[in-house]
């Protein structure tokens, strides 16, 4: 196979298999090309990926050596995306009764979801993460988007047990803002002991739901490595029960009377 053909095939391979370690001989065999030629291919791909801000190739030398694609998101692309998201969210027609914000169109757009997942995954790129956990329903697409970048499975916590999932562990927790007691369920089979878990959700007010997930994870002796949310509501900051989290945007003010919303970048901008 010629270099030009290999470059198309390899680019596709890496984008399809993020964070997967592949040995150089595998590619030499597959393409019938010398190892040195493959190395040059990889240099080209690495350079373009970095230039376009989509990630980089990580090469490990030696006998057990090989290469893996580490997806990334350049700070520039990230800031631009978050700024646009803030503008989109400030549209007054999003205001719903109770000061909630309509976000289903954003969460229903696969391209937006993919980008949000990538930004969160990039932020947690250096952490040891075995599995991503979310709670039904709205966090699910974001969890899969991040999981597909980190190349780890997703587990979904539900508010009601389902017959199709076998035995489960359930806990009761207090919802942060409404102070109501609620239930959360995770199938026993879905998580191994001592797993390293990243929690992803769409929205955090006081953080009661996420706190519930942490309590549930304690039952599985899991380690919470990271918490990522698309949006946090600023007005509940005093009552917040979750400390260490990463947010893309912060909704600082929803004025029902004036019909205005203020949205600013979340703490991810400070972290990265």
Look at residues 124, 114, 99 and name the one whose alpha carbon lies nearest to residue 203: 99
Q: Is 3 in the site for a copy of itself (CB under 8 A)?
A: yes
Does residue 19 contact residue 152 with C-beta atoms inside 8 Å? no
Q: Residue 11: exposed, middle, or buried by beta-carbon count in 10 A (0-12, 13-18, 19+)?
A: middle
**CA geometry: angle at 121 spanning 218 and 140, to 5°?**
65
Site map (CB under 8 A) of a copy of itself, residues 78-117, x = contact: ------------------xxx-xxxxxx--xxxx-xx---
Contact residue for a copy of itself among 19, 56, 77, 158 (CB under 8 A): 158
DSSP 200-237: EEEEESSSHHHHHHHHHHHHTT-EEEEEEEEEEEGGGG
Contact residue for a copy of itself among 69, 72, 121, 141 (CB under 8 A): 141
Distance, first Cα to last Cα, the chain: 41
Q: Is 8 in the site for a copy of itself (CB under 8 A)?
A: yes
Stretch that binds a copy of itself, among 83-91, 156-164, 216-224, 235-243 (CB under 8 A): 156-164
Q: How far apart, in whole angstroms, are the C-alpha atoms of residue 122 and residue 112?
A: 15
What residues from 159 to 198 belong to the interface with a copy of itself (CB under 8 A)? 163-166, 187, 189-190
DSSP 126-161: TS--SEEEEETTTTHHHHHHHHHHHT--EEEEBSS-
Q: Is 47 in the site for a copy of itself (CB under 8 A)?
A: yes
Does residue 206 contact residue 198 with C-beta atoms inside 8 Å? no
Q: Is 9 in the site for a copy of itself (CB under 8 A)?
A: yes
Least distance in angstroms from the C-beta of 63 to a copy of itself = 28
Of 49 and 229, which has the nearer Cβ to a copy of itself? 49
Q: Is 242 in the site for a copy of itself (CB under 8 A)?
A: no
Residue with tokens 């998101």: 73
Stretch that binds a copy of itself, among 60-68, 153-161, 232-240, 253-261 (CB under 8 A): 153-161
Of 33 and 113, which has the nearer Cβ to a copy of itself? 113
Does residue 29 contact residue 38 with C-beta atoms inside 8 Å? no
Stretch that binds a copy of itself, among 2-10, 219-227, 233-241, 250-258 (CB under 8 A): 2-10
φ/ψ bin of 53: left (φ > 0), alpha (ψ from -120 to 50), beta (otherwise): left
Least distance in angstroms from the C-beta of 267 to a copy of itself = 22
Q: How far apart, in whole angstroms, are the C-alpha atoms of residue 154 and residue 158?
A: 13
Contact residue for a copy of itself among 129, 155, 204, 222 (CB under 8 A): 155
Of 81 and 269, which has the nearer Cβ to a copy of itself? 81
Q: Is 203 in the site for a copy of itself (CB under 8 A)?
A: yes
Query: Where on the chain is the footprint of a copy of itself (CB under 8 A)?
Result: 3-5, 7-9, 11-12, 15, 44-45, 47-49, 52, 54, 96-98, 100-105, 108-111, 113-114, 136-138, 140-141, 144-145, 147-148, 151-156, 158, 163-166, 187, 189-190, 203
């Amino acid at each position: 196979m010629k270099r030009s053909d290999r470059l198309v095939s390899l680019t596709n391979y890496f984008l399809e298999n993020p964070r997967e370690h592949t040995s150089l001989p595998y590619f030499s065999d597959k393409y019938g090309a010398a190892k040195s030629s493959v190395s040059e291919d990889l240099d080209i791909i690495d350079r373009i990926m970095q230039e376009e801000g989509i990630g980089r190739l990580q090469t490990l030398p030696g006998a057990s050596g090989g290469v893996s694609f580490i997806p990334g998101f350049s700070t520039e692309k990230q800031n631009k995306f978050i700024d646009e998201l803030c503008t989109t969210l400030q549209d007054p027609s999003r205001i719903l009764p109770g000061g909630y914000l309509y976000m289903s169109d954003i969460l229903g757009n696969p391209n937006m979801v993919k980008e949000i997942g990538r930004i969160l995954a990039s932020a947690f790129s250096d952490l040891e993460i075995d599995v991503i956990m979310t709670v039904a329903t709205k966090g699910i697409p974001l969890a899969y988007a991040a999981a597909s970048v980190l190349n780890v499975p997703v587990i979904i916590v539900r508010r009601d047990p389902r017959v199709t999932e076998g035995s489960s562990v359930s806990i009761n927790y207090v919802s942060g803002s409404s102070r109501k007691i609620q239930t959360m369920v995770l199938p026993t089979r879905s998580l191994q002991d001592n797993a390293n878990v990243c929690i992803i959700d769409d929205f955090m007010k006081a953080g009661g739901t996420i706190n519930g997930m942490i309590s549930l994870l304690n039952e599985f002796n899991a380690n919470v490595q990271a918490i990522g949310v698309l949006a946090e509501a600023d007005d509940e900051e005093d009552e917040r029960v979750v400390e260490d989290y990463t947010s893309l945007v912060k909704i600082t003010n929803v004025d029902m009377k004036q019909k205005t919303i203020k949205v600013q970048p979340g703490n991810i901008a400070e972290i990265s």
